[in-house]
Structure 1
Amino acid sequence: MCGIVSLSYKDENPSMGKEAEALLKRLEYRGYDSTGASFISDDKRITLRKQVGAPSKVCPLLHIDQCSGQRFIGQVRWATYGSVTDVNSQPHHVRCKIELVGAHNGNISNTDTLKSWLTARGHAVVSDNDGEIIVHLIEEHYAAAQSLASSELAYLRRAYANAGLAEGVPDGVLRMIEAIRKAESLTEGSYAAAVADPQLPGVFAIKSGSSLYAGMGSDSHGDFIVLSSDLTSVLSKTRALIPLAEGEGIWFTEKQYLVFSLQGQPFFSHPRLKRSKLSVKDTQLSPEYQHYMEQEISSSPNNISQVLRYYFRDPALEPLSELFEERKDECKETSDLITSLADRFGNDALLAGMHEVFSSSAWNEIEARVQNAGAAHFVGQDFISDETELLKELAALDPQARSKLLLMDKVVVWRKRRAVLRYTGELKNAIHEAARSGGRIYLVASGTSYHAAMTAAYFFNQMARIPVYPCNPGIFRSMYFNCLGANDL
């Protein structure tokens, strides 16, 4: 599986090694064959430490926590191409034509062909690892791009201007983007990668068939942007995410970022930050558990509560639901406004938006109806909706608004339950219609959802007397796809 991670600050961070160790340990489940960390100081020197072993063992052994740096790229490896050796561990520091450091996660299936191609062009490929191949490929094209005049980068500048982006971008960044796009055109496989030129600000990353997340935040060391194969490591630093789509690359410093296309016509964008509904506690291994499986088993009661909350009506809460139903337009309006605050960043902006919602006539009408009906005691003391993290953040900013936020939490729950029950009814009707018309019903899922589908087949058989076919996507595509009929579901 493998995993990459990167972090960039404006200035030298003496605690960068501690940050790197914490991030690498969060990736340990993705690879424990080898661990590596590269640091770029503000005087543009690269320090590389890597060795066979899991992060929990390698980081203390190599004293990674003692390293300093302004930028960091790290990797944990689950060996595919090349044996488990120190040489095959990542990141890779190359300087055949120009100095770069980088790492990847995934597989490049034409590694052997590319290795011969690179060797013929003067590159010393020292490992059997496909991660080194992508760094050398970028190096090859980046070195060639150094001779390009500014006028020869005009087509990229036109694409940049067409995107309506006002902030300038250095020629060096465009040269690296040109190199990455050319390297990407030569690779076969699926991967994510991060690479940096110590002489050029920031880090470049590629999302080409493998997971990759990025986020922006600030801490005691200043502004930063963090990037990782794993959402947990990003959420450990910030909930403000930079949207990245498949087939896109990103250049980032500590607070500037630029997203670009990897193939086809060049395209640039600066997507707005999105606040994640998840927090790190939703995705990390809790200290009281040794294994994720143990944690997942222990979470079953909470999962059952979620099912009961949204798929079944609670008679005790019906009075509150009926009030919301009577004022459904106002409930939809105000819940849309409160959830839209996820796109606002900065305490002042959040507070202004919240106060605007709670001073609206629509909200005043909802609150008055609840008070007049004596239904306030149904509101409860805990946030339970999908917007819990946002509402908690708002409550922390203005504790006096907590009671209003708790009521809004119930509005959000009511609205989702309303939608879930409608969709469930439509699905039930579709299943009955498929069964009556002689169609087959396929449940296509992966991972634990596939196991749930297999369990569902048991209940459909025993209780509904309706046969269903649970299958993962590969089974569905190879065994059933060409046999689908008009009445199948």
Structure 2
Amino acid sequence: MCGICGVVGHRPATQIVFEALRRLEYRGYDSAGISTLSKNGEIERRRAAGKLDNLEEVLHQSPLNGTTGIGHTRWATHGAPTEANAHPHAAGQVAIVHNGIIENFAELKAELEAAGCVFASDTDSETVAHLVDFYLKQGKTPREAAFAAIQRFEGAYAIAMVFKGHGDLMIGARHGAPLAIGYGDGEMFLGSDSLALAPLASRITYMEDGDWCELTSDKVTIFDSTGQEVQRPIQNVAFMAGQVGKDGYRHYMEKELHEHPVAIGQTLQRITDPAAKTIALPELPFNPADVPRVTITACGSAFYAGMVGRYWLESLARMPVEIDVASEMRYREAPQPNKGVALLISQSGETADTLGVLRSLKKEGQSIVSVLNVEHSTMGRESDVVLGMVAGPEISVASTKAFTAQLSVLAALSIEFARARGTIDQAQEEKLTASLLDLPSKAAEVFTRVEDIQAMARVVAEARDVLYLGRGICTPIAYEGALKLKEISYIHAEAYAAGELKHGPISLIDRTVPVVAIAPSTILFEKTLSNLQEAKARGGRILAFTDAEGAKKLKGVAEVIVTLPDVDAFVAPILYAIPVQILAYEVALLKGTDVDQPRNLAKSVTVE
């Protein structure tokens, strides 16, 4: 969840590390810190609670020198977000930064305290520094001490270490949490992901699980979990500087909302043949006609995308589908069918729970298909096939354009399955593909309705509780809308299949509870309308996303109507996801919350 980075080189390290932390701040922003080695080889640290701006002020008042340094931006797990708990942690001859959880830290801490070590924080991470220093005091070299310590850690971690008196040395290690090596000109880098390294290095090595490395300014040596030297691929990774800027928007989320049409279009460009109006996915390692069941799993918004995918696969391809959130599925030990397919969805490709499920399903003999925005991630490397979306970096914690890109891939996959299973003919495939290819222009039209969405936002912003309703394939979009509102405006919101309203939730409705409806006229509209009339009769304030036909019928029922472009029912969930996200953004603006970095959240959940 936290972000770590490091540099060994010839330039002043502090500014390089600080700018990398800016790019990693989406991973956590409870506290931050930097440690460098001074000219005489001493370890120096600067830390601050809160966001990076606080650390910047500390560095302004008390600068750090040195050309080797490590940095950390924290999402708190063990210990409150205080300066004492901020990284880097130091003990004697070593300073470290750590992302993850050391599960056996209590046992190690007790052993180290018995040996005379004094701890200064409440974190599990400080145990790493003390254990490495313990081995250094026994006369081991930094490489030997690091390896001895790594062998004793249980849990998930990505670690970077620097050592007193070793100004041209850094050691990194990863197990269950991502870590990448960047190659520069007379300098080497470590980072939690390629985005941190983007402006620094065009050549990157993604360390494999269990790997650890030794970096100097001109050399990289990688070892596996047994301590044997190994070679890992060096990849060229191209980034454009503009991909990580706000480009004049107030927030990254606002920018990323406006990138929906491009994200959808670029993703579809990769997986369709527009001239033939057919799907052109990578070759699958199985025949969909032979698959007995698809198992879908993901977390957060990606799980809601998976729910839409289930509707498509079941209705279009007549494919039996099992779905569960990854945090539960990995512990259910559900039986898996022979020749089954597992479909996993993640923006980062590093989500801990989803990665855990991937590995367990792989052991069960399932073919692994991953829908990812970062194809070179850990999930990507461990999958049988990756269906890559082209959403570009997503910096705001709340996922936006990645969600519609995921849906675009799942729609294409469903068409592919339906074609292979003989449940649609060529004409139907062309019609469905054409509806997908029309989406980018339709998505762009949504932004002409922002004033209407703002009118809706003014109603929602006054509420303490909000209900979101949908039916059929639009029910997951109601879930997505409620999640976004909770994430960035801190207003309590719940989503339901509209038919469930009278089975309990209707008791919540009064004049203070807005009801947001996802109601395209082409999807169970009459039933949804009946449910909304029931809510209105009990004082509910009805706010509706619909199309022109639906708007006619909702007049007199809904207080605010946002009329969206007409689209085929097949792609309606993709289009309707955009305005519900915009609604959350506009409400957050009215509430004055931190849109890009909402409290208690981080972008990439790399710990359980």
Q: Give the alignment's TM-score, normalised by structure 2.
A: 0.51
Alignment-mate amino acid for residue 78 of structure 2: Y
Deviation at 1:240, TM superposition (A): 0.9
Match of 2:212 among 244, 249, 256: 249
* Cα 1:448/1:285, change in 2 over 3 Å: farther
Residue of structure 2 equivalent to 1:337: none
Name the structure 2 match of 1:7. Answer: 7
- For the residues of structure 1 that align with 2:328 and 2:78, how far apart are their CA atoms? 27
Q: 1:260 aligns with which of 215, 218, 223?
A: 223
One-letter identity of the residue aligned with 1:197: F
Residue from 261, 265, 269 that aligns with 1:301: 261
**Residue number in structure 2 paired with 1:288:** 248
1:224 maps to 187
> Alpha-carbon deviations, 1:11-40, whole Å to 9, x = none?
xx3x43322321222222222221111111
Any idea what the Cα deviations from partners look like across 1:395-425, whole Å, max 9, x if unmatched? xxxxxxxxxxxxxxxxxxxxxx99x44637x
Q: Give the letter aligned to residue 443 of structure 1.
A: I
SS of the residue corresponding to residue 186 of structure 1 reads coil
Query: Aligned residue for 2:172?
Result: 205
- Counterpart amino acid of residue 59 in structure 2: L
Q: 1:52 aligns with which of 49, 66, 74?
A: 49
Measure, in 2, the Cα distance between the counterparts of 1:451 and 1:178. Answer: 46
**How far apart are the structure 2 equivalents of 1:291 and 1:88?**
29
2:236 aligns with: 275
Matched, 1:180 2:146: yes
Separation in 2 of the partners of 1:269 and 1:56? 40
| Residue in structure 2 matched with residue 453 of structure 1 by the alignment | 306
| Other structure's SS at 1:18 match | helix
**Pair 1:128–1:471, CA change in 2 (3 A):** same
Residue 36 to residue 440, structure 1, CA distance change in 2 (3 Å)? same
Question: In the aligned structure 1, how far is the partner of 2:118 from the partner of 2:282?
Answer: 62
For the residues of structure 2 that align with 1:50 and 1:292, how far apart are their CA atoms? 26
CA contact (8 A) 1:3 1:31 kept: yes
Partner of 1:131: 125
Q: Secondary structure of 1:87's partner?
A: coil
What fraction of aligned residue pairs are identical, expressed as a percent? 27
Change (3 A) 1:449 1:85: closer
Contact map agreement 1:285 1:295 (CA 8 A) in 2: no
Instruction: Identify if the C-alpha distance between structure 1 residues 125 and 17 changes in structure 2 by more than 3 Å, giving closer, same or farther.
Output: same
Q: Is the 8 A contact 2:299 2:327 kept in 1?
A: no
Q: 1:101 touches 1:196 (CA, 8 Å); kept in 2? A: yes
Aligned residues of 1:37 and 1:64 also touching (Cα < 8 A): no
1:238 & 1:47 partners in 2: Cα distance?
26
Please give the secondary structure, in 2, of the residue aligned with 1:79.
Answer: coil
Bigger relative CO (Cα 8 Å, ≥ 6 apart): 2
- Structure-1 separation of matches of 2:36 and 2:315: 59
Q: What's the offset of the Cα at 1:277?
A: 4.6
Q: Which residue of 1 aligns with 2:28?
A: 31
Shift of residue 463, structure 1, vs aligned partner: 4.2
Aligned counterparts, 1:386-397, within 5 A: none
TM-score normalised by the chain length of structure 1: 0.63
Shift of 1:447: 5.2
Which deviations, in whole Å up to 9, do the C-alpha atoms of 1:240-297 show, x marking residues without a partner?
A: 1134111111111112111112x33x20135453212555555x35343454544443
5+ residue gaps in structure 1? Answer: 147-174, 319-416
Q: Which of 423, 431, 449 is equivalent to 2:283?
A: 423
* Aligned partner of residue 296 in structure 2, secondary structure: strand
Match of 1:484 among 325, 333, 336: 336
The structure-2 alpha-carbon separation of the partners of 1:302 and 1:81, relative to structure 1 and needing over 3 Å to count, comes to same
- Which secondary structure state, in structure 2, belongs to the residue aligned with residue 246 of structure 1? coil
Q: CA deviation at 1:54?
A: 1.0
Amino acid at match of 1:471: D
Whichever residue aligns with residue 67 of structure 1, its letter is L
Aligned 8 A contact 1:107 1:189 in 2: yes
Tell me the CA shift for residue 176 of structure 1.
Answer: 1.9
Runs of 4+ aligned residues of structure 1 deviating over 6 Å after TM superposition are none
296 and 260 in structure 1: CA distance in 2 versus 1, 3 angstrom threshold: same
Q: RMSD of aligned C-alpha atoms?
A: 2.9
Give the equivalent residue in structure 2 for 1:358: none
Residues of 2 paired with 1:280 and 1:267: CA distance?
A: 37
Contact kept? 2:7, 2:190, Cα under 8 Å: yes
Aligned amino acid, residue 50 of structure 1: R
1:312 aligned onto 2:272: yes
**How far apart in 1 are the matches of 2:302 and 2:221?**
35
CA separation of 1:243 and 1:421: change in aligned 2, threshold 3 A: closer
Cα 1:290–1:133 change in 2 (3 A) is farther
Correspondence for 1:238 among 201, 218, 223: 201
- 2: CA distance, partners of 1:18 / 1:68: 10
Per the TM alignment, residue 309 of structure 1 is displaced from its structure 2 partner at its CA by: 2.2
Structure 1 partner of 2:99: 105
Tell me the amino acid that sits aligned with residue 131 of structure 2.
Answer: L
Which residue identity does 1:3 align to in structure 2? G
Aligned residue number for residue 152 of structure 1:
none
For residues 374-453 of structure 1, the aligned pairs below 5 Å read 420-421=280-281, 423=283, 430=288, 432-434=289-291, 439-446=292-299, 448-453=301-306
Counterpart CA distance in 2 for 1:8 and 1:422 is: 39
Count how many residue pairs are aligned between Structure 1 and Structure 2. Answer: 340
Structure-2 separation of matches of 1:37 and 1:311: 43
Identify, as 1 or 2, the structure richer in helix: 1
Q: How far has the Cα of 1:299 moved from its partner?
A: 2.4
CA distance in 2, matches of 1:461, 1:243: 37
* Cα separation, 2, equivalents of 1:127 and 1:52: 13
- Aligned equivalents of 1:129, 1:53: Cα separation in 2: 16
CA 1:178/1:277 → structure 2, altered by over 3 Å: closer, same or farther?
same
Contact 1:18–1:65 (Cα < 8 Å) also in 2:
no
Residue segments in structure 2 that go unaligned for 5+ positions in a row: 342-608
Task: Report the 3-state secondary structure (helix = DSSP H, G, I; strand = E; otherwise coil) of the residue aligned with 1:81.
Answer: coil
Residues 21 and 421 of structure 1: CA distance in aligned 2, closer, same or farther (over 3 Å): closer
Q: Is the 8 A contact 2:99 2:157 kept in 1?
A: yes
Distance 1:48 1:451, change over 3 A: same
Instruction: Give 1:477 shift.
Output: 4.0
What pairs with 1:355-374 in structure 2 (closer than 5 Å)? none
Q: Does 1:470 align with 2:323?
A: yes
SS of residue matched to 2:67 = strand
